[in-house]
Structure formats: structure tokens, C-alpha cells
Structure 1
């Protein structure tokens, strides 16, 4: 399981928990023990979060993934690069004319490639945030409201982006689904189109 910082759990149309994964996992475990079916969504991506609910609450918590920070620390030998700085060597395939151009740049190929990547990343940052926010909101909406009246039009308003139309089209959805969809969509409506 990919590390999840916060998530939200739904039992039918009702939100039963939202927050750090450990807190939500315990609420989901208790609901499952009562025989309830619960769906859990990663708050950042709206991807489903699967939890192994077997055993005691302590066992459920012990099986949760460690935070992402722990993944980067390893006793395994490292390859070339500057691992203490976060630099990792990987293979890049370019045409000979690209290598010739890179060789002539101040600082060499690695410095130039890092600079070009950073510039491209900054230039596309707003579009990337908008796309990620729209995808997260749509993924949740499709899972929880795909059969609701106005779903298709609400999805169009999300990608337009048209906040007022989206709000109007989701008004009659169950409160917890509507509010969560609007919270996710707000990031899309607020995301700048350019950096």
C-alpha cells in the first residue's frame, strides 16, 4: 500500500471518519466489526485505500504502511550519485546532438538537465495542480455519486472549471458526499492555470 497521510471513510452515503490513516483505520475496523461495508478514499488522490482489518485494532494498526519518510532511509548499498543530497544516478537516453549540446553547457550535462527539469516543473506547476485536483474530485464523484442526478453535468462543470454550476448541480446529493466532493473540487477551482 502506498503511504497515505489523510483519508476519508464512507459507510453508504455517510462519512464516518476523516483524518490521519490510523484514526480512520480504527473507525473502519469498528464499522466492519458491526458488519458495515465501508469505502475509504485517500484525501490527496481519491484513490481507494484498502485496509487489512483482520485481528485486533493493534494488529490493524501494525499492518498500516510506515510514513513515506521511512522509505527513503535504507541500509542497502547505494549506487552512483550523491545520496546524501538526494541525487540518484539513472540512465537517460538522448540523441548524439543532445549530448553534444549538453557537453557544451556550463556545469556539464547533469547540472544543465537538473536546471531544465526544474524550469519545466515550475512552468507547469499550476496546470499540474489543476489536473491533479480535477482528477481527485472526479475519481471520488464517479465512485460515490456516479448514479446521482446531475453527475455528468457536475463533472463537466468540474473540468470547465465552473464553481457556481458545480455547486448548483451537486446541491441535491447526500450531504456528506456533496460536501466532500465540493471540498475536493475547491482545489481545482482555486488552482492557478499558470505558475
Structure 2
């Protein structure tokens, strides 16, 4: 997932939360914390999906802000190959990809008003609407898992906590996280909240 200066994220230094909020503010706090402790281990997580955000904290604060804002010079890759335009309607965001179906599926799709493409788009939109809540819950579980794996993978109860997370068992999850540092436990529960109260 792409990020920008307004991406909501949380930074941890040696397992302790040092900042939460927009990336532009979190990066400043993270640099201050790392500069204060030379051997500190910094991890920054995107609050949307639990993925890690790599921050380049070299140099001074001005250097950091230039890199974050995109003002720093960017060296283009040496082996840049031209992008080949495929089928589809790129201006509308439509791209052609291969779909493998049985002959009876193609027959049914081709018999639909508008043809196979229109029918497939309608089917996908219907499924997205129908499954929106369960998709959101699964996304929260995956975000919490990514964070837990990075921050608590070596902590006691991690595997049991993971099973409880995917079983949506709030009581068991909290029980297996009892010995974890408060900041890690609270952030994992925050990421998983929608899935746990689904």
C-alpha cells in the first residue's frame, strides 16, 4: 500500500510507542527518539493495514523532511524499460487480464446483456457489496497479524493469540496477550477492533 505525509501510522522504538498520527509528525518524533538512543530499534507501522513503513532517518531533520516531501533528488533506475500498453481502457482505469473459465461459464457470460465484461463487472460489484463487512473484518485481522508478527512474534502466547485473533475470540486474545508490553498489546487490539466486534 502506498503512503504519503498524511498516512496515519504508529512508531515504536524498542517495543515502546513513541508516536502516533500522520507520517510527517511521526517521522520527526521517531528521528528524535532514535537520535537519543544510538542502538534503538525503530519500527513504523501503517495503521490502515499493519504493514511496515521504512523511514530513512540519516542526516539531520531538514534532510528527513526533504526526503519525506519528495524534494530530495531521485536517481532513476538504470535498466528502465518502456511500459507496454496492453488492451483495456487505461484512462478509465480498465486493464485487460486473463480469466480462466469453463466453456459453460463463457457461454453464460456471453449471453448476458453487454457481454462478458459487463457481466463480470456486475458480479464483482455485487460480491463486493455483499462481502464488504466480512472483507473489512478480514483486513483488520490481517493488519493486526502483520503487526503482532513483527512486534510480538517472540513473545509468550504469540501463537495462541494469533489463533484467537482469527477465531475472533476477544477474551482468549486478551488472555494470551497479558504478559505483552502495554503499547504492543493496545496497538494490536486497536488494529483488530473491527474484526473482534464483527
Q: What's the counterpart of residue 81 of structure 1?
A: 89
Aligned pair 1:173/2:175, yes or no? no
Question: Aligned partners of 2:97, 2:154: CA distance in 1, in Å?
Answer: 46
Q: What's the counterpart of residue 27 of structure 1?
A: 29
Change (3 A) 1:55 1:112: same
Question: Aligned partners of 2:66, 2:58: CA distance in 1, in Å?
Answer: 11
Change (3 A) 1:153 1:94: closer
Gaps of 5+ in 2: 71-82
* Map 1:7-26 → 2, pairs under 5 A: 7-26=9-28
Q: Give 1:63 deviation, angstroms.
A: 2.2
* Contact 1:3/1:65 (8 A) holds in 2: no
Match for 1:52 among 27, 52, 56?
A: 56
Change (3 A) 1:100 1:150: closer
Question: Aligned partners of 1:65, 1:98: CA distance in 2, in Å?
Answer: 49
Number of residue-to-residue matches in the alignment: 180
Question: Aligned partners of 1:87, 1:112: CA distance in 2, in Å?
Answer: 18
Q: Secondary structure at the match of 2:68?
A: coil
Tell me which moved more, 95-104 or 142-151.
95-104
Q: Give 1:9 deviation, angstroms.
A: 0.6
* Contact 2:10/2:20 (8 A) holds in 1: yes
Change (3 A) 1:128 1:65: farther
Q: Secondary structure at the match of 1:149?
A: coil
Q: Give 1:89 deviation, angstroms.
A: 3.5
TM-score by length of 2: 0.77
Which stretches of structure 1, 4 residues or more, deviate above 6 A after TM superposition? none
